[in-house]
Structure 1
Amino acid sequence: MVHIVGAGPGDPELITVKGQKYLQEADVVIYAGSLVNPALLSLCKEEAEIHNSASMTLDEVVQTIAKAEAEGKMTVRLHTGDPAIYGAIQEQMDAFKARDIDYDVTPGVSSFLATAAALKQEYTLPGVSQTVIVTRQEGRTPVPDREKLRSLAQHGSTMCIFLSITMLDKVVEELIAGGYTEETPIAIVQRASWPQQKIVRATLSTICEEIKGKDIDRTAMIVVSPCLAGNYELSQLYAPTFSHMFREASKGTGNK
């Protein structure tokens, strides 16, 4: 059996209980060494066979897992964050299917959510934005025209941009061309939830200058959102004028 497990954003305590259980029980662990916090490997049993997939090809990963299956061993394929987002797991799952290898997926805490926690920020604020776009700047991996930053920026919503910090100048150019103003707030969080976590806040017009000399590398999340400005309407959920199935509107306040 193969368990594809989301390792979470970095803090070893942010792996799920189920993911931790599988990691502790695994006979073979293949982890994304360039991104997964190696501290998680301390959860593995001493005799576990551990492979760093950073230096492996897809065929090598699949062959290693097939060998473990033939030997009756349980494998954990450990991916950073949640494996469904830029985890390249679809090709692995399809390869497992082709070989009749049984597998399941355990979700994890994505880095864009750990980034919100680091910023102490809600991404969906009433009257500001009710949409979160998870995307990336085009690089070696192409992006469809309809999903380019310039196009997505027209919504003016919260945008969490992965894998793009080394192209920040191009990111800013595309966001402004798409409709965000130069004064739109932006935040960059490097290694959210890690001890080495760094946060830089600025506006689209100043962010490229602000990060100079701060040693911000490719493991950083970019968040651009009017929500970061701090102005918003209070939620109706807790308003005294609002009734729902668990609470009646307060007398004299009306019911909206």
Structure 2
Amino acid sequence: MTVHFIGAGPGAPDLLTLRGRDLIAASPVCLYAGSLVPPDMLEFCPPHARLVDTALMTLTEIVEEMVRAHRHGLDVARLASGDPSVFSAMAEQMRRLDGVGVPYDVCPGVPAYAAAAAALRRELTVPTVAQTVTLTRIAARATPMPDGESLAALGIAGGTVVLHLAVHRIEELVKELVDVHGPDCPAAVVAHASREYQVVLRGHLDGIAGQVRAAGIERTAVVIVGRALAAAHFPDSHLYSDTRCRA
């Protein structure tokens, strides 16, 4: 028996990896957050699978479901939106499973920020403009941010900043980022990336909060800030340069 932590991707069922799809299809138990994982994803589950919506469950209750499946020798598909390596709460579940001897593995998925960049038709790293991507969030009702990881501190590094779990406090994050990037810095918000009803907003830091409020976006969105979003004048990458090809 194995608990499979599976990156379910940003939402579109056809962005689920083939490995993830096959693991779901072979697991008699599926744990998923109904507030994040679309119902279409559950169609890959085998007939009569035990489907457990974890949206309102505690960590203890979630782990108890996994332990129960372990006792009965049933594989578990534990779906995480996007990729489980970022903001999935996977680490704390694994720590509990290690404590009770339940085996697990991890299947990566398409991260939300990648789906957002695709919707924007933008590369987040552009030669001489941005070669660093910072994935972060802000402290709100969630766990406090570690020392040295404030938006102001991270913003000094420049590059492209991607914020998860932060759109509901758009005014606050804009205020912090403006001090470093300036009010004219390109900014974008993509809600429900990859789904039929995705919303894409483009603008600058000084106006993006108003667009977010006007669109009624409060969750399931990625905020991206950086000059790469509007870069037009930059040198070609060395990877495909004529000079390199002749060397």
The CA deviation at 1:11 is 0.4
Matched position secondary structure for 2:127:
coil
* 1:21 matched to 2:25: no
Aligned to 2:96: 95
Which of residues 240, 243, 246 in structure 2 aligns to 1:241? Answer: 243
Measured in 1, the distance between the counterparts of 2:194 and 2:172 equals 27
The CA deviation at 1:80 is 0.5
Aligned to 1:163: 165
The CA deviation at 1:138 is 1.5
Aligned to 1:6: 7
The CA deviation at 1:117 is 0.6
* 1:42 matched to 2:46: no
Matched position secondary structure for 1:155:
coil
The CA deviation at 1:165 is 0.5
The CA deviation at 1:144 is 2.1
Aligned to 1:83: 84
Matched position secondary structure for 1:54:
coil
Q: Which amino acid aligns with 2:152?
A: R
Quick check: 2:129–2:231 contact (8 Å CA) kept in 1? no
The CA deviation at 1:166 is 0.8
Aligned to 2:140: 139
Question: With structure 2 as the length reference, what TM-score do the two structures score?
Answer: 0.96
Quick check: 2:132–2:158 contact (8 Å CA) kept in 1? no
The CA deviation at 1:43 is 0.8
The CA deviation at 1:145 is 3.3
Q: Deviations over 1:190-213 (max 9, x none)?
A: 010011100010101111222332
Aligned to 1:106: 107
Aligned to 2:61: 60
Q: Which amino acid aligns with 1:95?
A: R
Alignment: residue pair count: 244
Aligned to 1:224: 225
Measured in 2, the distance between the counterparts of 1:211 and 1:108 equals 27
Matched position secondary structure for 1:77:
strand
Larger radius of gyration: 1
Q: Which amino acid aligns with 1:12?
A: P
Q: Deviations over 1:194-244 (max 9, x none)?
A: 1110001010111122233212121110000100122222111111111xx
Measured in 2, the distance between the counterparts of 1:111 and 1:211 equals 18
Measured in 1, the distance between the counterparts of 2:74 and 2:208 equals 49
Measured in 1, the distance between the counterparts of 2:163 and 2:186 equals 14
Percent of aligned positions that are identical: 38
Q: Which amino acid aligns with 2:221?
A: A
Question: With structure 1 as the length reference, what TM-score do the two structures score?
Answer: 0.93
Give the unaligned 5+ runs of structure 2: none
Measured in 2, the distance between the counterparts of 1:211 and 1:139 equals 18
Aligned to 2:194: 193
Aligned to 1:245: none
CA RMSD of aligned residues (A): 1.1
Q: Which amino acid aligns with 2:83?
A: D
The CA deviation at 1:46 is 1.5
Aligned to 2:127: 126
Q: Which amino acid aligns with 1:94?
A: R
Matched position secondary structure for 2:102:
coil
Shifted more, 23-32 versus 211-220: the winner is 211-220
Q: Deviations over 1:167-201 (max 9, x none)?
A: 11010110012x10110000000010011100010
Matched position secondary structure for 1:223:
strand
| Structure 1 segments of 4+ aligned residues over 3 angstroms from their partners | none
* 1:152 matched to 2:154: yes
Measured in 2, the distance between the counterparts of 1:154 and 1:55 equals 38
